Amino acid sequence: MTKKLFIKTYGCQMNVYDSERMVEALGGAGYEEVKTPDEADMILLNTCHIREKAAEKVYSELGRFKHLKTEKPDLKIGVAGCVAQAEGAEIIARQPMVDLVVGPQSYHRLPELEAKAGQGAKALDTDFPEEDKFDHLAARPKAKRGPTAFLTVQEGCDKFCAFCVVPYTRGAEVSRPVDRIVTEARDLVERGVREITLLGQNVNAYHGAGPDGEAWSLARLIWALDKVDGLERIRFTTSHPNDMSDDLIAAHGECAKLMPYLHLPVQAGSDRILKRMNRSHTAESYIRLIERIRAARPDILISGDFIVGFPEETEDDFRDTLTLIEEVHYGTAYSFKYSARPGTPAAERATVPAEVADDRLQRLQALLTRQQRATQDAMVGRDVHVLFEREGRNPGQIVGKSEYLHAVHVTSDRIAKGDIHRVRIVESGANSLGGILAPS
């Protein structure tokens, strides 16, 4: 008898990929995915520990399922991902209705944990196992896919930024072998995928074993994927400035399938704060790096991450961040008010008053919003190539992404999902661009 699985995903693209693999892993145990928790025999929360009060939000979410557990005593409830790794057995202690807890490096063991929970025992696995989870996951099913997909190539981080829990929840940097990645990419393309985004907590630190026995860089991996017939677009995220190697910069200028979009977080523009963050780069070195990247690919759109209100940040430090933003000019960016992660070095430091951090975040986001809008407005009149992914809100409208990752909508009966068309941009909205099919 088929059992029903509801999985809710929090956080980054890697968690989206992990959730797909969890669904596949549990498929071997007789589960199929459903859209609502009410119809599920198992509810699984795949959690993220990056945002403020992440654990408390998970406990709050679990509380919403208490009535379902009461109505269906055989319902299994699990917590996976980074909060599971960080909290471990504490989750079961605080929420006894939870049946299983599994960390992000152990989800290939989900069928075993589900079987244990099915026998009435609590199942916990937050180890960093020696075996590679990808070796133990079942082959991906051959179902048709949408035109875009994520593909994890690297996990973990060795940078130990003072604010970040990733080294503690995801472990040390590990890279998957080249052959396995290329095989998975070919399989995705056979099922309809035309664009793949390579994922890693620090993806440009990739150093997977190549078929020649050497450790390959991310650039060499990209060139191997460039040879996959039917794969039209390649992206990668998230990167660290210290790992933007010469060959990766060159690939942005030379590999036609590598899209002109780069997410390269800097976090702050003050050298004093960057040092306190343990970022191991300076504002000047970051700016010079952006110049080299733009020299290789002049039209590249740069994206970034920023933290404001980091412990000990002064107004002068904050102004240095605004100055860096003005110099780089971001096409898009993500910004956050600092929130302490327990167990990280920064969590022990004196905090910036909340009202000061709030004010700085508003000022920083206003600048980033102006830059993002200026970037989008400058696209009007230009031709871009759009990979269409889904139907839009209006009749006959279809939506996709340009090479610059802008959402673009077009009204036409000549476009199908998965098509790539040259589109002339005719309008710029708050979060998307409108276009028409460009004359051939």
- Residues annotated in the binding site for [4Fe-4S] cluster, as ranges? 12, 48, 82, 157, 161, 164
Strand partners, 308: 337
Binding site members: 12, 48, 82, 157, 161, 164
Distance CA 149, CA 225 (A): 14
Tell me if residue 402 falls in helix, strand or coil.
strand
Tokens of 355: 């009202």
Phi-psi region of 86 (alpha: psi -120 to 50; beta: other; left: phi over 0): alpha
- Phi and psi angles of residue 173, each rounded to the nearest 5 degrees, phi first: -65, 125
Tokens of 371: 């830059």
**What does the CA dihedral 328, 330, 334, 336 come to, rounded to 10 degrees?**
40
Residue with tokens 């920083």: 364
Q: How far is Cα of residue 58 from the mean position of the Cα atoms in its chain?
A: 19
Sign of CA dihedral 22, 45, 264, 383: positive
DSSP state of 209: B
Q: What is the dihedral of CA 210, 213, 216, 221, to 10 degrees?
A: -10
Q: How many CB atoms lie within 10 A of CB 36?
A: 8
Report yes or no: 78 and 44 within 8 Å, Cβ to Cβ: yes
Rounded to the nearest 10 degrees, what angle do helices 110-118 and 13-27 cross at? 60
DSSP letters of 335-394?
EEE----TTSGGGGSPPPPHHHHHHHHHHHHHHHHHHHHHHHHTTTT-EEEEEEEEE-SS
